[in-house]
Structure 1
Amino acid sequence: MKKKILLIEDDEAIRENTAEILELANYEVATAENGKVGVRKSKEVKPDLIICDIMMPELDGYGVLYLLGKDPETSTIPFIFLTAKTEKSDRRKGMMMGADDYLTKPFEEMDLLNAIEGRLKRNVALKQSFIRDAKGLEDFVEIAKGLKELEEITASKQVRQHKKKDTLYFERDFPNAVFLLTKGKVKTYKINDDAKEYITGILKEGDFFGYLPIMEDRAYDECAVCIEDSEVVKISKQDFLQLIEKNREVASKFIKMISNDLVEREKKLLSLAYDSVRKRAANALLELKERFGANDKNYRIDMLRSDLASMVGTASESIIRTLTDFKEEGLIEVKGKEIRIINADGLKNVW
């Protein structure tokens, strides 16, 4: 399938000549004669890449990039500025706003085609799933950086071994790093005024965490503790902020992760407010099975009853009674502290 390119250029001769070059290079080309038309067409055409002049009537290139960056549907489209200006300040302004490349007119045909090919390849690579472990993180960063300022990011990466019950950060600590869990399990939790613990998340291998406080420039509102021996990769706050500020695709990935986190937390809060202990316990068991043993029919949930109670938001005695009921109802099998779900549909229908 041909890649689609949107060319936004007010000079008719340049627009037609450039479009012809791109069509000869086997690209599907749409054109716009000014910035306002370009913004509209970007949503209609959904191009794989946008080439945009800076100095235009109606709406200049900076305005186009700004408006496209505010729309999730267009914010990650690779964007190349095309302009007769050569001042460094203009180039810097474009790059700081999120442009991926910058070509000055007059340009060589091969410079244009090489810039397009390079940006399309990088965008495809970024959209591919990456292995969320230390090596996968390194590969992801290598693809994502594309900037000289980030060449040292993998060199500064810290990998640390942690024992069970080690605390990674406390509530009210101010963050200085983003974490990636590569081995083990970590729980995040809050402590209420009565000193009772409520687990907000159980993290598995491949999960990023601790990034929301950095993006919101605030202290942690929860604690993070290893619930088994774990290995954690730390990305410094500075490197992380450079990633999301300099690369729109990386920023988009983390925004999606944050959105998913917020949706899940809202669901849990609603469940805590309105669902019975039985329903919350059933949901917790199903969540743990989905996160840690989705493809294993014989997967056994190995968690302290106190942690499971904290996840459900109830007392340990209540969770023990509820698990006994589930066992008698043929929903789960219990061996020691291990729990195996034997009737998932039944748990889904618990009220």
Structure 2
Amino acid sequence: MTGQLLLVDDEPGLREAVQAYLEDSDFSVDVAANANEGWQKLQQHTPDLVITDVMMPQVDGYQFLKQMREDPRFKTLPVVFLTARGMTKDRIQGYNAGCDAYLSKPFDPDELVAIVENLLERRGATDKPSEGTNLDEIARQLAEIREQLKQRPAIAQTASPIKIDLTPREQSVLDLVAEGLMNKEIARRLETSVRNVEKYVSRLFSKTGTNSRTELVRYALEHGLTH
């Protein structure tokens, strides 16, 4: 699984070690040495998940979390607390403050990776799919796509090949979209999260200048982009 994470911790050694382990697990990790720096990073780019220490100078993790939850942009952003305070009352305080997971130091990095993957998977499952939740509209789009697929040989005869730099995963997603699969089905086929599929579809829209799955498939077929 991939994802963009923000790690906030004032201990340089721990911060670097956790960053390295998460990056080895295929996550992209941005780091901040304190909550104020973390807040600035959030303004520049919204990550998929935040991992933050609780006990930090000036602004602690609870204040940082409160600041995030009061901002509509970050109200539902998954947050994992890392802290040396592991008593039950501390965990309760963390969950009451709105964190999604609470991990006591020292911790097994594999456990952190499992927590992050689980939270991102849950978020992907509950996020509104990019193609919408109107079943009639989805059915209509599928019908259009499949109708175009029937005409594929005719289209191929007049195709005007065009070179667009697609990553192997983007190509795989494009081919499956062209087969008429929706994001949930594509995620299952590629063994990834729905959220990741949505990101790839969004990138395909951007690279092809299209705005819908139907337009994307039409563009791909006309320009010989599908395999």
What interval of TM-score do these two structures reach, taking the shorter chain for normalisation?
0.5 to 0.7
Give the structure 1 partner of residue 110 of structure 2.
110
Which letter does structure 2 place at the counterpart of 1:8? V
Measure how far apart 1:45 and its partner are: 2.2
Q: Is the 8 A contact 1:43 1:74 kept in 2?
A: no
State whether structure 2 residue 60 is matched by structure 1 residue 60: yes
Tell me which stretches of 4 or more aligned residues in structure 1 moved more than 2 Å. Answer: 128-132
Query: In 2, Cα distance between the equivalents of 1:75 and 1:41?
Result: 16
Query: In 1, Cα distance between the equivalents of 2:4 and 2:133?
Result: 29
Give the structure 1 partner of residue 99 of structure 2.
99
| Structure 1 unaligned residues grouped into runs of 5+ | 133-351
Q: Which has the higher relative contact order, 1 or 2, with Cα contacts under 8 A spaced 6 or more apart?
A: 2
Q: How many residues matched?
A: 133
Give the structure 2 partner of residue 37 of structure 1.
37
The structure with the larger Rg is 1
Mapping of 1:330-341 within 5 angstroms? none
Measure how far apart 1:2 and its partner are: 4.1
Query: In 1, Cα distance between the equivalents of 2:22 and 2:102?
Result: 17
Mapping of 1:64-79 within 5 angstroms? 64-79=64-79
Mapping of 1:1-351 within 5 angstroms? 2-128=2-128
Q: By percentage of residues, which structure has more helix?
A: 2
Q: By percentage of residues, which structure has more strand?
A: 1
Measure how far apart 1:131 and its partner are: 6.6
Query: In 1, Cα distance between the equivalents of 2:43 and 2:126?
Result: 21
Q: Is the 8 A contact 1:4 1:29 kept in 2?
A: yes
CA displacement 1:203-230 (0-9 Å, x = unmatched):
xxxxxxxxxxxxxxxxxxxxxxxxxxxx
Measure how far apart 1:128 and its partner are: 3.0
Query: In 2, Cα distance between the equivalents of 1:46 and 1:36?
Result: 15
Which letter does structure 2 place at the counterpart of 1:82? L
| Structure 2 unaligned residues grouped into runs of 5+ | 135-227
Measure how far apart 1:85 and its partner are: 0.8
Which letter does structure 1 place at the counterpart of 2:73? E
Query: In 2, Cα distance between the equivalents of 1:2 and 1:112?
Result: 14
TM-score (norm 1): 0.36
